[in-house]
Structure formats: C-alpha cells, structure tokens
Structure 1
Amino acid sequence: MNSIASIIIALIMAPALGMAGGMILVFWNTGIELQPLWVRITNFLVLIIFIRLLVSRIYSESEVKINFERIFPAIAGLIIVPIWSGLLSSDPFDFGDTGNATDNMKAFMDICLPYFSLPMNLLFIWKEGVNPIWAKQKPKSEY
C-alpha cells in the first residue's frame, strides 16, 4: 500500500517540481544574462577552480572532508545570486504602487544586482585558486 501511495504522490508532484525547476532555471538564466562580461569571466574561473578541487579530492588518497565555508562563495556566486537577481529584476516583480520610492529602488536593483556575485567569485578565486599557488611559490623565511 505504501508503494502505491508513493507512486500516486510522485505522479502528482512531478509536474509541480518540473515547473518549479523550470522557473528557477529561467530566473537563473536571466540573472546570468544581466551580468557584464568580466563577472562572467570570474564565473568561468570559479567553475575551473571548483572542478579542479573536486578532481583533486576524488584522486587524493587521504579522506578530506569538504569544508562548506570554503565552497559557499562559489555556490552563492554561481547559483544563488543569479537566481535572486533574475527574480528581482524580472518585469512581473513589482513592489506595488508606492510612488517614487519604488522607482528608485527598482533602478538601484537594476544597477547593483548584476554585480553582486563578483565579490563572492573573487573571494573564492583568492582562497582556492591564488592562495594555494602563492603558498607553494612563496620563498621560505630563514627564521
């Protein structure tokens, strides 16, 4: 009986989950399209560093746990912020009819939202890309 109930629930929930996933992808794509070229370049660098980290963790013989605090800037800069900026900058999103304050807030969001992922991308590139290479190349002090 439990398997029949789970199949019925899955049949009911599948279209809703597919529609929600489609809307999330639409908002993410809108957020990515709003970003200027140099923010997209940092997105590409974050992807390269993230893939390098995953491959190095897979092929390392020691068990290394993934530290969420170290990969959170990559997740936020590549996934969360573009979804958020795509949602807030879309045409159906409106604050209501409150007058001039709404127009100012909408203009502020249209200007600032495409750049929100840049600090997170740069933080991840520094912590996981530049800093380990710098630590290997830095000359050892004699003290």
Structure 2
Amino acid sequence: MTAVFFNAYFPFKENSLLKAENAKMRKEMETQDKFSFQLEKVKVSVDSIGAPKQNDFFNEKLALSILADMYKQLPKDTLKNKNMYNNTIMTYKDLIDAKKQIKQLSGNQVLMDSLSSINTTLKAEYDKMKTDLAVCRQLYQAQ
C-alpha cells in the first residue's frame, strides 16, 4: 500500500513543482523579451543623438523616458539577474550623458577654432603695428 502511495503521490507533486518552475521561467523570459525590445528602442534613440537633421533634445528625453519606464516595469522580487538589468539601464544613461557632453565639447571646439583664427589675425595686426611703431621711433630720433 505504501509503495502504491509513493508511486502515485510523488509524480503529481513533482509535476506541480515542475509546472510552478516552468511558469516562473516563462515569466522571466517574457520580462527579458520585453526588456530587450525596449532596449532596442533606446538604442535607436541614442544612435539618433548627434545625427544630422535630428532633434537631439527630443531623442535624449525619449531615451531617458524609456529607460525610466524600463526600470519601473522590472519586477522587484522575481528577477535572478536584477543587477544585470540595473547595470544595463545605468550604462545606457551614462552613454546618453557622454553623447551630450561630446556634443557640448564639439560646440566648444568650433568656438575655440573661431577664437584661434581671430587671435591669429589680431597677432598679425599687432606685429604690423609694432613694426610701424619702430619705424616711427627711428624717424623721431633722426630728427
């Protein structure tokens, strides 16, 4: 009787445990698929930052908005690789900040090039005036 009980009870118990584990894995895979899909949208927005004829401010805010939604939608209790998801989100945020800083520095480079050309012109005029002053001094001393 005991052998029949064990042979009949344990397979059902094992089956229910496997079903629970399978449901948990399905939920994890759905979360990964959703995360991957949203990450692809963020990638498109980030790649558009700095591209010609694109609104960088809009693309930056769109990417940050999607990242914030991704963070909010992550289940807090069931994920095994929570650090991986958080690190991925933070890495993309850092990438957005870096692209923003590169754009800012590129603008500064244009300004520096402009100021450098003005400086070269003014230096040439200064050297010319310095020469003229030296000639004037020689003429004054000769009198």
Shared fold (TM-score greater than 0.5)? no
Pick the structure with greater CA Rg.
2
- Normalised by the size of structure 1, how large is the TM-score? 0.32
Quick one: higher RCO (CA 8 Å, sep 6+), 1 or 2? 1
- Normalised by the size of structure 2, how large is the TM-score? 0.32
Greater fraction helix: 2
